[in-house]
């Protein structure tokens, strides 16, 4: 079974000034992540602005997939180190989610990240059946629980049922509820140690790992992958005092990276440091002036 641990980056999609995808900029960001020692990459998620990308065959989404798979394979060939690619595959239409998971399987992704169906606000039974359908595709599935964006929380009892399905390998936990996260670890991971419990919130990475979590699908690692790798690896090795030092040193930036939304805030931070990022597509816009000051101060204070 696929075992996910450490720091995995929720990749942004760099844009050009005219709003088109900056493909070479994306290639640069992938290479940057690999060179900095990242443990895994997650393209076409929320941070990638995927709802605004063209999914027509051969267009934006397919080009992004092609670039990341090409770069990861080349890196693996030269280093012998495997870097999991977890391809975003979420939809509030179960039929479409199945198609996205089939695409993930077809292109050779290690797993698919499937978010709770949003807007529809399905019942817990509806959520279970949604994941039951995608689990049949045959690609490993990471469940993404983020009630703040989807409007509905996956109850732990439901996640226990989902985790018993074939091909369900972990959860990206972004409920913001540390008690729920502990319940998930106790109810699922204690019985199945290979089931990955990953934070979906950078500020909660260390608290979750102290309770037995495996790592993070990180937004801030778009800019500081090496530091997030160090933090998570310290925690995995039980070096919690050292991990705590890193956590508190970076905490202002964890907060600043979401001060005016995601990925608007992290894109501005990357721009400041000379990494490809560009603007966001509507309905997202550039961060406001007050947010820029917060981000600039956090970068300075955290010595990023």
pLDDT confidence of residue 144: 98
Residues 268, 280: Cα–Cα separation, whole Å:
10
Residue 1 has pLDDT above 80, yes or no: no
Q: Catalytic pick from 128, 144, 234, 267?
A: 144
The question of whether 172 is a catalytic residue gets the answer yes
Provide the token pair at 158. Answer: 């439901």
pLDDT confidence of residue 274: 97
Residues 209, 238: Cα–Cα separation, whole Å:
9
Q: How far is CA 135 from CA 20, 69, 81, 257, 260, in A?
A: 34, 22, 27, 33, 35
Q: Catalytic pick from 100, 105, 172, 268?
A: 172
The structure tokens 């239409």 sit at 93
pTM of the complete model = 0.96
Provide the token pair at 204. Answer: 């909660």
Please write the tens of the pLDDT for every residue from 222-241. Answer: 999 999 999 999 999 999 99
Q: Are 132 and 165 in contact (CB under 8 A)?
A: yes
Please write the tens of the pLDDT for every residue from 15-43. Answer: 999 999 999 999 999 999 999 999 999 99
């Amino acid at each position: 079974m696929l075992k996910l641990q450490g720091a995995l980056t929720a990749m942004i999609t760099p844009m050009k000034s005219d709003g088109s995808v900056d493909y070479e900029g994306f290639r640069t960001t992938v290479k940057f992540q690999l060179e900095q020692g990242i443990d895994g990459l997650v393209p076409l998620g929320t941070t990638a602005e995927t709802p605004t990308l063209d999914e027509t065959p051969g267009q934006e989404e397919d080009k992004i997939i092609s670039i990341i798979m090409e770069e990861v394979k080349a890196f693996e060939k030269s280093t012998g180190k495997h870097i999991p690619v977890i391809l975003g595959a979420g939809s509030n239409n179960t039929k479409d989610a199945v198609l996205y998971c089939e695409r993930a399987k077809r292109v050779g992704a290690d797993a698919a990240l499937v978010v709770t169906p949003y807007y529809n606000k399905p019942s817990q039974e509806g959520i279970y059946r949604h994941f039951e359908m995608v689990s049949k595709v045959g690609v490993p599935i990471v469940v993404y629980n983020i009630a703040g964006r989807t409007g509905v929380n996956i109850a732990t009892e439901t996640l226990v049922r989902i985790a018993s399905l074939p091909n369900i390998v972990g959860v990206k936990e972004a409920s913001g509820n540390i008690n729920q996260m502990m319940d998930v670890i106790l109810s699922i991971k204690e019985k199945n140690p290979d089931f990955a419990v990953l934070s979906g919130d950078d500020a909660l990475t260390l608290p979750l790992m102290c309770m037995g979590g495996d790592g993070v699908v990180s937004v801030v690692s778009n800019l500081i992958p090496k530091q997030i790798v160090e933090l998570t690896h310290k925690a995995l090795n039980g070096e919690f005092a050292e991990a705590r030092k890193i956590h508190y040193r970076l905490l202002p930036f964890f907060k600043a990276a979401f001060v005016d939304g995601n990925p608007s805030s992290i894109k501005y931070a990357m721009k400041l440091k000379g990494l490809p990022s560009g603007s966001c597509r509507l309905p997202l816009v550039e961060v406001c002036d007050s947010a820029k000051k917060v981000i600039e101060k956090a970068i300075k204070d955290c010595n990023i």
